[in-house]
């Protein structure tokens, strides 16, 4: 720990996890995790329940002891530091507000335990930040879920921890409130500039708030990057399916010509940029997001240089802002197409169509993976 | 008169609109309360009134007792039994204290570390009560006897000389000493302390303790700042359930004590059953004890401020 300011906050420290492992009996919850979270970033650990994200968080907070590996805050190792000695605070999933204390005392709790005499001013400032100053004298059970959530945040933030851990903080809120709180959380993070590590199973929540997302699956990190990176260029079928929706078409690599990879699938030749293809020979899974696929009536309407496949419309849902099609390929696969409502004629089920997309928007994945990975879990994630 | 609206008249008129439903609706709760009210009257109100009235009577068993409003009984009841009041208070306070000191860790352990064994462990706490109170107390005579294991251990550890110097035990005995009385009482009332404690500790969300740990509380501070305040209803309930019967208990003093450990209960029994004209003074003592306990308990609850927690 380098320089401490008034509140005991230490400056300059990335959170580093080195070879972090947690086993419960024969079950490996977190498997040899290496991760560096830069100071001041809003970092999201995204994954389905049971993927090890909460266990990772609990090890950082000290509430769970790692089986192996190390945790560093800046230069200081905190692996064996007791939770109450770590400059890390948690916003718990169920908020865990102290029911016997009023809101003021809940927020003041951390400061009082560290022996601060004058807590009135910082507590009031913190309650102002979460816009609940008028509720200082209430008890937690007199507050709504959203208010409790904000108090839980204030109670953790007031300690100015080096890292703030958020364990599914918005999970218990209804959709509208969740959206509102996402914006609020992001605003507060920007305002206070602390490192936020946010655990969630909600991919949309992660994408809205985080600078960097790590997608976890079975105790490992599948892929890490900015929301746009993960979405546009997923590394695995799990990420492609878990983060949004993907059309995945299995094929075989025909050849690599400079920065263009040629793939044959369903008797067609499709192309994609080499930089976006993670397999250079053998089987490959070609992916493209539904909103990047367009629909034409005949092959002649497809712009030159675009990838195209023909099929039959099996389902059409008009959403208003867009139309979602399900197109059956002759091979039996279904491709989703989201078409912006630009006034074009709507294709009816049974219509023979050609689907096409810009090759630069496709991505290629290692063909040996389970093509369905993460797809079923996405239902839960979107819920 | 005609232009000014009289709210009371208006209300009465409005209430009178559905005349069919009103009487029945008001009678039902009373009918439902009736069994409880009868029970309370027969087993609570009448005995108390009988006691109170007996406490101001004079007479003896042969000629009968008459209500003479003889308040002098109270003068006797208060003045002549100071030692017994002192013993009853001392033993019951000590019992409550030791029950809490022993019961809290047990309840805490079962509630937080019991896991799947919780119910079994709690059953073990209660099961001894299935045997008669009297028999269990008599069993303590054997345990604390001069040849028994307790005296043996205390003697070899040289603790007996210490307790003797403090006046808790006498002449190398444990049985028939104040210590034995308190021992028996603690044993007998321990489940009454543990049960409410367990109930309130078990209700505490363990995640609150994690939150405390996360907010700079060591294990002890977490207990002090979070667990203890949240378990206060259990502490108050448990101590009351122990203290109230302990004040009136005389079996332990009778079986495990000596003539110098007399408590109020023994005196009341003696006055009621063995003295021909003791009935009124015995009743007066009962009333004094009841009022005294009530005042103590009320001020205790007021001071502990449980309204907020319960």
What is the mean predicted confidence (pLDDT) over A130-158? 92
What is the mean predicted confidence (pLDDT) over B87-114? 96
**pLDDT, tens digit (0-9, with 9 covering 90-100), for A71-99:** 999 889 999 999 999 999 999 988 999 99
pLDDT at B29: 87
- Mutation site for B-interface testing, chosen from A9, A54, A63 by largest number of B Cβ within 10 Å: A63
**pLDDT, tens digit (0-9, with 9 covering 90-100), for B109-137:** 999 999 899 999 999 999 988 999 999 99
Contact state of B225 with A113 under an 8 Å Cβ cutoff? yes
Contact state of B211 with A90 under an 8 Å Cβ cutoff? yes
Instruction: Give SS3 for A35.
Output: strand
Answer yes or no: are the C-beta atoms of A315 and A326 closer than 8 Å.
yes
Percentage of the residues of chain B whose pLDDT score is greater than 70? 90
What is the mean predicted confidence (pLDDT) over A174-200? 88
| Residue A184 Cα to chain centre, angstroms | 17
pLDDT at A10: 46
Give A372's DSSP letter: T
What is the mean predicted confidence (pLDDT) over A203-217? 92
Alpha-carbon distance of A89 to A62, in angstroms, equals 10
Contact state of A96 with B217 under an 8 Å Cβ cutoff? no
Judged against a pLDDT cut of 50, whether residue A296 lies above it is answered with yes
Q: Which of residues 87-106 of A touch B (CB under 8 A)?
A: 88-90, 92, 94, 96-100
pLDDT at A180: 84
Alpha-helix residue ranges (DSSP H) falling in chain A? 53-61, 103-113, 120-129, 145-157, 175-192, 203-209, 227-232, 237-242, 375-382
pLDDT at A6: 40
pLDDT at A2: 39
Give Cβ neighbours of residue B87 (< 8 Å, ≥ 6 apart): B253, B261, B262, B263, B264
**Bridge partners of residue A215, in order along the sequence:** A46, A223
More reliable by pLDDT, B93 or B149: B93
Nearest CA in chain A to B206: A96
Give B85's DSSP letter: H
Q: What is the mean pLDDT of chain B?
A: 87
* Structure tokens that stand for A21 in this block: 């492992």
List C-alpha distances in Å: A199 to A15, A164, A224, A307, B243: 15, 11, 14, 38, 50
Q: What is the DSSP string of A347-369?
A: PPTT-EEEEEE-GGG-EEEETTS
More reliable by pLDDT, A180 or A102: A102
pLDDT at A171: 80
What is the mean predicted confidence (pLDDT) over A345-359? 91
- List of chain A residues whose C-beta atoms are within 8 Å of the C-beta of residue B208: 96, 98-99
Q: Does A306 touch chain B (CB under 8 A)?
A: no
Answer yes or no: are the C-beta atoms of A220 and A56 closer than 8 Å.
no
Pairing of strands A283-288, A247-257: antiparallel
**pLDDT, tens digit (0-9, with 9 covering 90-100), for A300-316:** 888 988 999 999 999 99
Answer yes or no: are the C-beta atoms of B154 and B160 closer than 8 Å.
yes
Res. B97 pLDDT band, cuts 50 70 90: very high
Judged against a pLDDT cut of 70, whether residue B36 lies above it is answered with yes
| Residue A340 Cα to chain centre, angstroms | 25
- Mutation site for A-interface testing, chosen from B210, B211, B225, B227 by largest number of A Cβ within 10 Å: B211
Give Cβ neighbours of residue A142 (< 8 Å, ≥ 6 apart): none
pLDDT at B247: 94
Q: Does A64 touch chain B (CB under 8 A)?
A: no
pLDDT at A4: 40
Percentage of the residues of chain A whose pLDDT score is greater than 70? 95
Res. B12 pLDDT band, cuts 50 70 90: very low
Rounded-to-10 torsion of CA A98, A99, A100, A101 = 60
More reliable by pLDDT, A111 or B277: A111
Alpha-carbon distance of A272 to A306, in angstroms, equals 10
Half-sphere exposure for A372 (CA within 13 Å, toward CB): 4
Res. A379 pLDDT band, cuts 50 70 90: very low
Judged against a pLDDT cut of 90, whether residue A131 lies above it is answered with no
**Bridge partners of residue A251, in order along the sequence:** A284
ipTM of model: 0.82
Least Cα separation, residue A194 to chain B (angstroms): 17
- List of chain B residues whose C-beta atoms are within 8 Å of the C-beta of residue A94: 205, 207
- List of chain B residues whose C-beta atoms are within 8 Å of the C-beta of residue A90: 211, 214
More reliable by pLDDT, A158 or B4: A158
Q: Does A155 touch chain B (CB under 8 A)?
A: yes
pTM score of the predicted model? 0.80
**pLDDT, tens digit (0-9, with 9 covering 90-100), for B175-192:** 888 999 999 999 999 999
Judged against a pLDDT cut of 70, whether residue A40 lies above it is answered with yes
Contact state of A96 with B226 under an 8 Å Cβ cutoff? no
Q: Does B307 touch chain A (CB under 8 A)?
A: no
Least Cα separation, residue B32 to chain A (angstroms): 33
Q: Does B225 touch chain A (CB under 8 A)?
A: yes
More reliable by pLDDT, A148 or A178: A148
């Amino acid at each position: 720990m380098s320089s401490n300011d008034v509140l005991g906050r230490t400056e300059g420290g990335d959170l580093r996890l080195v070879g972090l492992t947690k086993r419960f009996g024969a079950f490996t919850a977190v498997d040899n995790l290496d991760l560096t979270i830069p100071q001041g970033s809003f970092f999201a650990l995204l994954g389905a329940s049971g993927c090890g994200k909460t266990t990772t968080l609990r090890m950082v907070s000290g509430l769970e002891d790692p089986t192996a590996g190390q945790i560093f805050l800046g230069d200081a190792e905190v692996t064996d530091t007791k939770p109450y000695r770590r400059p890390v605070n948690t916003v718990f999933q169920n908020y865990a507000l102290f029911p016997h204390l009023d809101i003021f005392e809940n927020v003041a709790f951390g400061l009082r335990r560290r022996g601060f005499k004058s807590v009135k001013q910082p507590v009031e400032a913190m309650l102002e930040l979460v816009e609940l100053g008028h509720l200082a004298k209430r008890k937690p059970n007199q507050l709504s879920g959203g208010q409790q959530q904000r108090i839980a945040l204030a109670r953790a933030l007031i300690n100015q921890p080096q890292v703030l851990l958020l364990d599914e903080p918005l999970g218990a809120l209804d959709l509208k409130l969740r959206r509102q709180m996402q914006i609020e959380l992001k605003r507060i993070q920007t305002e206070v500039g602390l490192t936020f590590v946010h655990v969630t199973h909600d991919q949309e929540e992660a994408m809205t708030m985080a600078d960097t997302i790590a997608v976890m699956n079975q105790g490992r990190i599948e892929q890490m990057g900015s929301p746009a990176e993960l979405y546009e260029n997923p590394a695995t079928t799990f990420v492609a399916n878990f983060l949004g929706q993907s059309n995945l078409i299995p094929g075989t690599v025909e050849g690599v010509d400079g920065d263009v990879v040629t793939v044959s699938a369903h008797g067609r030749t499709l192309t994609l940029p080499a930089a976006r293809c993670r397999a250079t020979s053998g089987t490959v899974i070609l992916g493209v997001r539904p909103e990047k696929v367009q629909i034409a009536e005949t092959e002649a309407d497809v712009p030159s240089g675009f990838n195209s496949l023909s099929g039959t419309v099996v389902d059409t849902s008009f959403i208003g802002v867009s139309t979602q099609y399900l197109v059956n390929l002759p091979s039996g696969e279904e491709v989703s197409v989201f078409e912006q409502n630009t006034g074009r004629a709507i294709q009816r089920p049974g219509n023979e169509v050609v689907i096409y997309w810009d090759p630069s928007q496709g991505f290629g994945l290692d063909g040996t993976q389970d093509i369905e990975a993460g797809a079923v879990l996405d239902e839960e994630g979107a819920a | 008169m005609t232009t000014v609206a009289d709210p009371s008249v208006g209300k009465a008129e409005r209430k009178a609109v559905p005349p069919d439903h009103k009487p029945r609706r008001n009678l039902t709760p009373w009918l439902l309360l009736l069994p409880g009210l009868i029970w309370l009257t027969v087993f609570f109100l009448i005995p108390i009134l009988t006691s109170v009235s007996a406490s101001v009577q004079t007479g003896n068993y042969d000629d009968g007792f008459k209500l003479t409003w003889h308040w002098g009984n109270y003068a006797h009841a208060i003045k002549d039994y100071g030692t017994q009041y002192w013993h009853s208070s001392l033993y019951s306070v000590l019992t409550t204290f030791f029950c809490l000191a022993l019961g809290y860790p047990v309840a805490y352990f079962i509630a937080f570390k019991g896991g799947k064994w919780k119910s079994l462990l709690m059953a073990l706490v209660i099961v001894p009560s299935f045997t008669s109170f009297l028999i269990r107390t008599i069993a303590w005579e054997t345990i604390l006897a001069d040849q028994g294991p307790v005296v043996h251990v205390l003697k070899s550890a040289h603790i007996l000389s210490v307790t003797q110097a403090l006046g808790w035990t006498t002449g190398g005995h444990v049985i028939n000493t104040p210590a034995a009385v308190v021992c028996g009482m603690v044993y007998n009332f321990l489940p009454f302390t543990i049960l409410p404690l367990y109930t309130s500790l078990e209700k505490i969300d363990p995640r609150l303790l994690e939150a405390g740990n996360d907010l700079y509380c060591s294990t002890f501070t977490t207990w002090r700042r979070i667990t203890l305040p949240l378990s206060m209803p259990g502490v108050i309930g448990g101590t009351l359930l122990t203290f109230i019967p302990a004040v009136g208990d005389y079996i332990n003093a009778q079986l495990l004590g000596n003539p110098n450990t007399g408590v109020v209960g023994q005196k009341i029994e003696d006055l009621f059953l063995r003295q021909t004209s003791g009935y009124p003074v015995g009743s007066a003592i009962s009333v004094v004890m009841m009022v005294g306990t009530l005042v103590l308990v009320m001020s205790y609850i007021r001071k502990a401020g449980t309204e907020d927690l319960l």
